[in-house]
Amino acid sequence: MSASALHLPPNASALWRERLGLLLESTGEGVFGIDLAGDCVFINRAGARMLGLATGEVMGRNMHALTHHSHPDGSPYADSDCPIFNAFRSGLPCRVDSEVFWRADGTAFAVEYSSHPIVEAGQVQGAVVTFVDITERRRAAGELQRAHDELARANDELERRVAARTQELSQALGQLRELSAYSEQVREDERTRIAREVHDELGSLLVALKMDVNWLHKRLGEQGERAPEAAIDMRQQMRCKCQNMSRLIENAVDNVGRIITDLRPSILDHQGLWAALEWQAQEFVQSAELQLHWQMEVTEALHLPEPAAIAVFRIFQEMLSNVGRHAQASAIRIHIDIEDDHLQLRVQDNGVGATRQALEAPTAYGVMGMRERARQLGGHLHISSEPGDGSCLKLRIPLEAAP
């Protein structure tokens, strides 16, 4: 904009015109000048447009009363507090970006302005004010701040979740280590039990057999030296020894079979999982003296792969073991069926029940082991129990996912 396009007083000096012309040529912001009374002595078209007025409508009017009369909340703004006016009153420049200017239609817009005193011959003559509408800048800053706040909240939430997940993983790792140590202890205890049974049962039987064999060997060597009557009596003793040795051998065979069954029931290999489950249930209720309600709705033609069958059988054994150790029950109900291509196995007792804290305790290794086996099959183990109301353990595994 050239200096000739300015609305200036007729008596404005050529120097004013030159200075103002250079200033307005160098900026695209709103620019106006005021005298010591605060009245407008010039304004560029950009400034007038932002105020919603023509340049001629602004000339000679008090700029504070026209566009800076109120705070952003609408409360009056005394001109004695106005930084624009203070620029020529005190001779100090200012820069403000926290206020608003008011348009002719009564609306306000966020503004950033600066006010500089105009000094001639050492005397302050007024002030020149530059301003720019920062509504979009404020909006963008607000959105940026909101985005930053949301990002900070999201980051806090992420850190919280990571911390919680880390704690869960740490607890799971600790439980896994405890379960591993418990499993190793169980295996070691089982080895110790088997070794003790082999030593106590089979060892004593074999020693007795060895003694009987030595006795027979010695008596057979003396057979030719005996009288006929003594020989008849000796043969009778030898027949008794042979019968005793036969009983010892039968006991040894029974013990070997029992130990083998404890390690892996042969019925699982010969007759399949369903027969093995029923056999195990009958064996358990006979030894525990419980009433059994058995219900199996599974066709014997359904076969699980061997690893899955073994896992289901071991989980079932642990279910029964929990009943025997903790339930103090008088009856047990077992239900096996297929639902939605899932094998479901339920063991329910009428015992004393248990609290959730007891079932979720870090030392509940039996429950942890069953759940881990169920997860390996792609299924899960659900336990419902209330103190005094018995317990129900339900295994559910997908048939197609059983590896």
| Confidence grade of residue 263 (pLDDT, cut at 50, 70, 90) | low
pLDDT at 249: 76
DSSP labels for 231-258? HHHHHHHHHHHHHHHHHHHHHHHHHHHH
Give dist(CA 184, CA 177) in Å, integer: 10
Contact at 8 Å (CB) between 47 and 1?
A: no
pLDDT-derived band at 340 (thresholds 50, 70, 90) equals confident
Pick the more confident residue, 15 or 9: 15
Q: Which of 368, 268, 352 is nearest to 318 (CA)?
A: 368
Q: Is the pLDDT of residue 319 over 80?
A: yes
Which of 2-6, 52-56, 189-193 is predicted least confidently? 2-6
Mean pLDDT of 357-367: 78
Q: Positive or negative, the Cα torsion across 199, 204, 210, 214?
A: positive
Q: Which position has the token pair 């015992």?
A: 351
Q: Does the pLDDT of residue 2 top 50, yes or no?
A: no
Q: Looking at domain 267-398, does it have CATH number 3.40.50.150?
A: no
Q: Which residue has the tokens 């051998």?
A: 249
User: Residue 9: what pLDDT?
Assistant: 53
DSSP 83-149: HHHHHHHH---EEEEEEEEE-TTS-EEEEEEEEEEEEETTEEEEEEEEEEE-HHHHHHHHHHHHHHH
Q: How does the average pLDDT of the chain come out, rounded?
A: 81
pLDDT over 90 at 332, yes or no: yes
Give the confidence band of 13 by pLDDT, cuts at 50, 70, 90.
low
Predicted TM-score (pTM) of this structure: 0.45
Most confident of 29-38, 87-96, 215-224: 29-38
* Residues in a beta bridge with 70: 76
Residue 56 has pLDDT above 80, yes or no: yes
Band of residue 402 on the pLDDT scale cut at 50, 70, 90 = very low
* pLDDT (0 to 100) of residue 3: 39
pLDDT of the residue at 107 = 94
Give domain 3-133's CATH architecture. 2-Layer Sandwich (3.30)
Query: How confident is the model over 155-168, as pLDDT tens digits?
Result: 999 999 999 898 88
Q: Tell me if 231 sits within 8 A of 220, measured CB to CB.
A: no
Q: Which two tokens stand for residue 333?
A: 């109900």
Percent of the chain residues past pLDDT 70, beyond the cut: 79
Confidence of residue 231 (pLDDT cuts 50, 70, 90): low
Q: Which of 54-68, 217-231, 240-254, 357-371 has the lowest mean pLDDT?
A: 217-231
**Can you tell me the mean pLDDT for 359-365?**
76
pLDDT digits (tens, 9 = 90+) for 116-142: 998 888 888 889 999 999 999 989 988
What is the distance between the alpha carbons of residues 143 and 132, in angstroms, rounded to a whole number? 20
Query: By mean pLDDT, which of 102-111, 204-213, 227-236, 379-388 is the weakest?
Result: 227-236
Q: Amino acid identity, residue 259? A: I
Domain assignments of the chain as residue spans, ordered by start:
3-133, 163-262, 267-398
Q: Tell me the two tokens of residue 8.
A: 């200036």
Q: Do domains 3-133 and 267-398 have the same CATH topology?
A: no
Compute the distance between CA of residue 242 and CA of residue 254 in angstroms, rounded to an integer: 18
- What pLDDT score was predicted for residue 292? 92
What confidence tier does 362 reach under pLDDT thresholds 50, 70, 90?
Answer: confident
Per-residue pLDDT tens digits for 136-157:
998 998 899 999 999 999 999 9
Query: What pLDDT band is residue 66 in, cutting at 50, 70 and 90?
Result: very high
> Looking at 7-16, 26-35, 201-210, which range is the least confident one?
7-16
Q: How far is CA 366 from CA 172, 264, 325, in A?
A: 16, 19, 11
Is a pLDDT exceeding 70 seen at residue 326?
Answer: yes
Q: Which helix (DSSP H) or strand (DSSP E) does residue 58 occupy?
A: helix 55-58
pLDDT band with cut points at 50, 70 and 90 for residue 212:
confident
Residues 95, 91: Cα–Cα separation, whole Å: 14
The pLDDT of residue 146? 92
Write down the pLDDT at residue 269.
74
**What pLDDT was estimated at residue 401?**
47
DSSP-based three-state secondary structure for 301: coil
Pairing of strands 291-296, 123-133: unpaired
- The answer to whether residues 99 and 114 touch, using CB atoms and an 8 Å cutoff, is no
Asked whether residue 230 carries a pLDDT value surpassing 80, the answer given is no
pLDDT over 50 (residue 6): no
DSSP notation for 317-347? HHHHHHIIIII--SEEEEEEEEETTEEEEEE
For residue 229, pLDDT over 70 is answered with no
Percentage of the residues of the chain whose pLDDT score is greater than 90: 30
